[in-house]
Structure 1
Amino acid sequence: MTTDTPLLEVTGLTKYFPVMGGFPFKRKVADVQAVDGLDFAVNQGESLGLVGESGCGKSTTGRLITRLMEPTAGKITYQGQDITHASRKELAPVRSEIQMIFQDPYSSLNPRQTVGKIVGGPMEVNNINPKGGREHRIRELLEIVGLNPEHYNRFPHEFSGGQRQRIGVARALALEPKLIVADEPVSALDVSIQAQVVNLLQKLQKDMGISFLFIAHDLAIVRHFSHRVAVMYLGKIVEIADRETLYSAPRHPYTRALLSAVPEATVPDEGTEREDNRIRLVGDVPSPLNPPSGCRFRTRCWKATEKCATDEPPLVQLTDSKPGHLTACHFPEESPAAA
């Protein structure tokens, strides 16, 4: 499934959005700390799930990796090449290898263009002429994603939400990418259609060896699709581990609280009702304009102490955790082995 060298490596990735105020609105008064010092890697042929509540910085992370946004700080390395602040010319060969599937299939497709024009757009921009011609390749792609090749001349308004997202997937595949950033690709779809699209992405990954950064807030879908999972809270990664370890033995209190709300994700202790295991977090996520000092989760955590307010916990491998299972917490949950 994977090789030793990561396809994509992110170190200290940060994105702050300046808030302008005063008169005449030309003075920076604060920063929205959307993403603040992320470290993770995506291996060849691997799917990394990125989960967390709305507003925690998941989509911003995806846009930074695809370089649709300029990072404030940090480093993005793709196949050993630093693309953090690469120019448009330097990015040209990389752009075809990193593609994105957007969240909303209704707004991500141009209503004035036919399906053939939409899917063939990336080939036209990159001046790619596949064997047999562009039209033949586009019809092939439509077939690969489960659409009729005869849909070539139709317009987006003639399709359902699920079919539109398949068109978006076909467009992402047009340049034969090595990495696809899927930004909540099924959250805008009907529940009955979600499984079809996720299964399609899984099949494409298996057949073509594509790596995925799969951004979502639905933990059940992430468990189904991802090999490893990273949990984000207020711009930071608080825990990262392989799928089975994270879902069966979460170490961070926030991860445990998230999983306790997903029936498929947790199994209650023998002899107890599932409702007894549900953890209800108090209050709302703090504003990224003014995040809490120390641990950002401390304002909602039942384990928080003075140390949590003064010292920010690093994302590290705990001594009693499985290799590759990193947690950022001063008072982590007990490991199953220790229990």
Structure 2
Amino acid sequence: MTEDVIKGDPVESDTAKGDPVKDAAAVPAPRGGAPGETGEPLLVVEKLVKHFPVMGGFPFKRTIGAVQAVDGVDLTVHAGESFGLVGESGCGKSTTGRLITRLMEPTGGTISYRGQDISHASRRALAPIRSEIQMIFQDPYSSLNPRQTVGKIISGPMEINGINPPGGRETRVRELLETVGLNPEHYNRFPHEFSGGQRQRIGVARALALEPKLIVADEPVSALDVSIQAQVVNLLQKVQQELGIAFLFIAHDLAVVRHFSQRVAVMYLGKIIEVGDRDSIYARPRHPYTHALLSAVPEVDLDGGDTRRERIRLAGDVPSPISPPSGCRFRTRCWKAQDKCAAEEPPLIQLSGNHSGHLTACHFPEDPTITAREEDIVLDPALTALEESPGPAQGSPKTA
């Protein structure tokens, strides 16, 4: 899905009547939030670690290793800001989101929300904060209770927190349904009566029910049809702008993240390897892995110009998080790797020539450009051999 598709905002054929962003401003702004403005740090994560033990031996009671899903993540989300977290599958994005919402207990590091350390806070200590940090899950099918009606699903958080809005909970739920583009008459329907896009709208309404200050959206559109993705992303962006809610938007679709997020962090094998504002990351990346990610994004040149972008194809797969490489974790797939990359882990710092706030973790950073190189970087020998061999109409393949 391209950014142009998102801006087109196609119409979902099976969705109920109603504008996806209609009456969004009617929903009260989050407590202490200023719509459309970014402010002081709301969430600060420092050296966040999550290791899952690997059991072995007999009868599987001995720890023989650990899956280092998240290993030293640092990030800051400001009030009212949309912050994107990107990376390929298995890099630890979703685990980071669940740690921030305290759905998982971190192994190490600190999670500070509005200056309060909630890393290992008890259930009672977290109770006042739970309503301010909400989550939108990836799968719109498994994240909704099939035995509960839509009204029960959305009003459940209000019941748990003892919130009685003016006019009653049912009135509030019907307002939220209209806000996310669903018909208020769907109050008594069950999740199986809705499409995937409609179910995700229900999840958005549930997240908005408590007027949160921070929403962690864990790949909220990856399970949806492309045309429906555009509607849901536009809905989230409108909600973020109108209500001043901060978003941690987790995704692997770079076009969606570019459209939605103001700042972007790139994650690889449990670590943040580059972070900066949207324009800086997408137009002037410095880390080789970020260059490789951006070169994989398909683009159509509608102007017919000759502006070719760089092309990079990496060899192999992401190393196992049980035994990650020493030093820089990307060095086993990097074309610029040297002995220093294996001996020393590069710090996440601001390089010379970078804009303020653009941090990169690389000993030998790339040039801040994404224009085409004289030669494509192709590290996979199988792909090289395949391209060099002639097609069926040109005769038999070349032999060594």
Q: Indicate whether the TM-score tops 0.5.
A: yes
Which residue of the partner structure matches residue 259 of structure 2? 224
Letter in 2 for 1:95: R
Please report the TM-score for the alignment, with normalisation by the length of structure 1: 0.96
Which residue of the partner structure matches residue 327 of structure 1? 360
Alignment coverage as a number of residue pairs: 333
Q: 1:259, 1:265 within 8 Å by CA — same for their partners in 2?
A: no
Q: 2:43 aligned with 1:8, yes or no?
A: yes
Q: 1:247, 1:266 within 8 Å by CA — same for their partners in 2?
A: no
Off by >6 Å, runs of 4+ in structure 1: none
Which residue of the partner structure matches residue 64 of structure 1? 99
Measured at CA, do residues 4 and 191 of structure 1 come closer, stay the same or move farther in structure 2, by a change above 3 Å?
closer
Letter in 1 for 2:290: T
- 1:171 to partner: Cα distance: 0.3
- 1:25 to partner: Cα distance: 1.2
Equivalent-residue separation in structure 1 for 2:39 and 2:360 (angstroms) = 22
- 1:257 to partner: Cα distance: 0.4
- 1:266 to partner: Cα distance: 11
Q: 2:39, 2:80 within 8 Å by CA — same for their partners in 1?
A: no
Letter in 2 for 1:316: I
Measured at CA, do residues 3 and 272 of structure 1 come closer, stay the same or move farther in structure 2, by a change above 3 Å?
closer
Q: 2:338 aligned with 1:284, yes or no?
A: no
Equivalent-residue separation in structure 2 for 1:6 and 1:271 (angstroms) = 43
Which residue of the partner structure matches residue 385 of structure 2? none
Letter in 1 for 2:43: L
Equivalent-residue separation in structure 2 for 1:264 and 1:226 (angstroms) = 20
Letter in 2 for 1:330: H
Equivalent of residue 115 in structure 1, options 125, 131, 150:
150
Matches within 5 A, 1:1-339: 2-3=37-38, 5-264=40-299, 271=306, 273-274=308-309, 277-335=310-368
- 1:3 to partner: Cα distance: 4.8
Letter in 2 for 1:299: T
Q: 2:46, 2:75 within 8 Å by CA — same for their partners in 1?
A: yes
Letter in 2 for 1:64: L
Letter in 1 for 2:167: G
- 1:319 to partner: Cα distance: 1.8
- Write the deviation string for residues 26-82 of structure 1: whole angstroms up to 9, x where unpaired: 111000000000111000110110000000000000000000000000000000111
- 1:278 to partner: Cα distance: 1.6
Q: 2:38, 2:78 within 8 Å by CA — same for their partners in 1?
A: yes
Which structure has the greater CA radius of gyration?
A: 2
Equivalent-residue separation in structure 1 for 2:199 and 2:39 (angstroms) = 36
Letter in 1 for 2:53: P
Q: 1:247, 1:265 within 8 Å by CA — same for their partners in 2?
A: no
Give unmatched runs, 5+ long, in structure 1: none
Q: 1:106, 1:161 within 8 Å by CA — same for their partners in 2?
A: yes
Quote the sequence identity (%). 78
Q: CA RMSD in A?
A: 1.6
- 1:224 to partner: Cα distance: 0.2
Equivalent-residue separation in structure 1 for 2:307 and 2:261 (angstroms) = 29
Please report the TM-score for the alignment, with normalisation by the length of structure 2: 0.81
Measured at CA, do residues 40 and 2 of structure 1 come closer, stay the same or move farther in structure 2, by a change above 3 Å?
farther
Equivalent-residue separation in structure 1 for 2:330 and 2:131 (angstroms) = 38
Q: 2:49, 2:73 within 8 Å by CA — same for their partners in 1?
A: yes
Give unmatched runs, 5+ long, in structure 2: 1-35, 370-400
- Write the deviation string for residues 109-147 of structure 1: whole angstroms up to 9, x where unpaired: 011110000001101111111110000000000000000
